[in-house]
Amino acid sequence: MTEVEIWKKIKFTWARRADCVRIENVASFGLADINCCVNGLEFWLELKVIRSGKSKIQSSQIAWIAKRLSHGGRVYIYAVDNATLNGYLYDAKSLYKADVLFNLKGQAIITYKNLVPICTIRHSSEGLHTILNIIITN
């Protein structure tokens, strides 16, 4: 499972309900992966693949999320466990409760043991519809 595969499933599943764009921006480090708009409600979604209970996050992503949240932005993290294919939706505010470790290359590693997801789903079309409904009503 890769972030690109997660994105393709989200794009296909939410196509009729949301306008979503995957952002690959090398000029603005840290920008979340996906920007979506549903009925005038705009939010950002950062995609992560969990391997062995952990995923990588750049310090620039943490900084971007903090700045966006400070201005009232809506940012979520959608993480898929590569082994179980369970998907977890987190409010990005919960990132401050995460254990963030740094490896020898200086990359930040999130461990998810201290984070409580908004919801846990099977990474499927039905599960993704559930996530979108939660984001809209949250």
What pLDDT, on the 0 to 100 scale, is given for residue 94? 79
Containing structural domain, residue 71: 3-137
Count structural domains, the chain: 1
What pLDDT, on the 0 to 100 scale, is given for residue 107? 62
d(CA 38, CA 42): 7
pTM equals: 0.88
| Residue 4 DSSP SS3 | helix
What pLDDT, on the 0 to 100 scale, is given for residue 100? 60
What pLDDT, on the 0 to 100 scale, is given for residue 98? 60
Cα-trace Rg, the chain: 14
Q: What is the domain-level CATH number for residue 63?
A: 3.40.1350.10
d(CA 75, CA 99): 19
pLDDT block averages, 10 residues each, the chain of length 138: 94 96 76 94 95 82 86 94 94 72 61 80 96 94
What pLDDT, on the 0 to 100 scale, is given for residue 24? 75
